[in-house]
Structure 1
Amino acid sequence: MMKRYVFLALLPLLSCQGQQPADSPTRVGVPVEHVVATKDQQARRAQSEAYCKAHGVPYYKNPTAMLTDSEAEATLRTQDEVVDRALALCFIGLKSEGMSLTQLAEIDRAYHISPKLTPNERAYVTAPHPTEQQQADANWRYEGLHVLLWAVGYVPALAYPDRMCEVASDVKIIHDLSEAQFRARAKLRSKKEILDQADLILRLDWACTEARLKKQPAPGGLSSDAVVERHHALNWLMQYGDQEWDDVSTDT
């Protein structure tokens, strides 16, 4: 795992020591078969499979299984929910970098962070001596932040997940704006755009999971950790299983 460094003009911060994130709740099995796909599901699947093929990533080939929700069925998180979650993830990431309690308290006040934290995040923030795993999990949430910044229009595109996101650039987006400005300039992407990415990450994570079960490296040069964190964020965005952030599963 690579070390990551965040350099902000006022906040030079050192990242965690390459620890892997804890496994997300994941159920691995044979996907439900014989699903009657809608036209948009079929088109989305074909687009994702073409992407996988172009990057040398194997994909689940049954055309009547492993589908994300159709546009008619899916209900996305609201724009304000996404903004709040992005701010919380940024805060959690900054804490994982070793930022001082004084600086964290200032950010908490400026962005009203405390009410935005989940129970697990609150436990981490208030722990007098967080475990290495808690630190690593918090640091890896930067990948989820990257997805949410994309979802509300601050990141133009989600690149092929073969490496870590550019943490410094993402944190700077929030660092340079007040909470009110960050919220006002956000614009939630269309349901189609988000479902397209959710379908794609499902297939990329399936390929990574299959490789892991066979004790093989992730195909296509994928970063399996970045993939699963992206999967977590996208499943939360589309309210997969009506699960809240701490409980989101990344089933393949």
Structure 2
Amino acid sequence: MIRQRSLFMARRLGYPVDVSLPLITDRGVLRDKDEVVDRMLALDAVIACASGMPPEIALEWVSEIGITGSLSPSEARVLEGRAEEVPAGLLDRMEALWALGWSASLFRALDFSRICGPELGMIFGELDDARDVRALRKRSRLRRHEEVLAACDLARCLHRGIEIAARKRMSLPGKVQPNVILERRKALEWLLGEEEWDEVFVGV
């Protein structure tokens, strides 16, 4: 049923589909809520750096709210000033953050025909101190495993559609840039897997 719905939605969104795409069979556990919130906060910090915040300020904030250990190695290099420059692609992480926020019930919908909404900044742009973070943890409620699994399967189907279009030299499918699909898929795969953030594979 999940795959049938994914294929229907992919076609409706304007993506070519591959009915032979393997089903997700190894994604049985959803991560702990606090781990999800920590990952969102880590993403928020690196997005802030990509938006112009000095890395040392972001690192100080991360330390204050107690999530230094949740930074991935690549994120730690940015915040500790060990990266030659802040990668411009970190701004794309907003879409991963949106997907995680949806999984935590902070956002109502995960619409693959639109980019993330202004609610992202309204929630994550107002986290000044540990008290705000505690309120975010209290507010977060993970969605059911089946909901996240269905969203991940749809992201997989859309990703395959992008690859099909590129291979056949078709026009770009859908109404959003491919990075929107890829970033959201990475977040959803991480939610349902055991890989570390930097190790999540989004091939199809």
Indicate whether the TM-score tops 0.5: yes
- After superposition, residues 64-103 of structure 1 pair within 5 angstroms as 65-69=21-25, 74-101=28-55, 103=57
Root-mean-square deviation (CA, aligned residues, Å) is 2.1
* 8 Å contact kept, 2:77–2:83: no
Identify which of 114, 124, 135 aligns with 1:174. 124
Distance 2:142 2:51 in 1: 28
Deviation at 1:129?
Answer: 5.7
Structure 2 residue 105 is matched with structure 1 residue 153: yes
Q: What's 1:4 paired with?
A: none
Evaluate the alpha carbon distance shift between residue 105 and residue 74 of structure 1 in structure 2; reply closer, same or farther with a 3 A threshold: closer
- After superposition, residues 176-215 of structure 1 pair within 5 angstroms as 176-177=126-127, 178-215=132-169
| SS state at 1:46 partner | helix
Q: What's 1:18 paired with?
A: none
Give the partner amino acid of 1:66: P
Q: What's 2:116 paired with?
A: 165
Structure 1: gaps (5+ residues): 1-42
Q: What's 1:135 paired with?
A: 87
Deviation at 1:165?
Answer: 1.6
Distance 2:7 2:14 in 1: 10
Evaluate the alpha carbon distance shift between residue 199 and residue 91 of structure 1 in structure 2; reply closer, same or farther with a 3 A threshold: same
Give the partner amino acid of 2:23: L
Q: Which has the higher helix share?
A: 2
| SS state at 1:219 partner | coil
Q: Which of the two has higher C-alpha Rg?
A: 1
* 8 Å contact kept, 2:104–2:142: yes
Deviation at 1:159?
Answer: 1.1
Count residues with an aligned counterpart.
Answer: 200
* 8 Å contact kept, 2:30–2:145: yes
Structure 2: gaps (5+ residues): none
Evaluate the alpha carbon distance shift between residue 128 and residue 250 of structure 1 in structure 2; reply closer, same or farther with a 3 A threshold: closer
* 8 Å contact kept, 1:207–1:218: no
| SS state at 1:74 partner | coil
| SS state at 1:206 partner | helix
TM-score normalized by the length of structure 2: 0.88
Summarize deviations over 1:208-230 as a string: whole Å, max 9, x none. Answer: 11222333332133421111111
Summarize deviations over 1:144-194 as a string: whole Å, max 9, x none. Answer: 1101100101011101245x323x521321343511111111101000100
| SS state at 1:220 partner | coil
Distance 1:213 1:101 in 2: 39
Distance 1:216 1:111 in 2: 47
Evaluate the alpha carbon distance shift between residue 160 and residue 129 of structure 1 in structure 2; reply closer, same or farther with a 3 A threshold: closer
* 8 Å contact kept, 2:10–2:17: yes
Deviation at 1:109?
Answer: 4.0
Identify which of 13, 37, 59 aligns with 2:17. 59
TM-score normalized by the length of structure 1: 0.73
Give the partner amino acid of 1:165: C
* 8 Å contact kept, 2:31–2:192: yes
* 8 Å contact kept, 2:98–2:120: yes
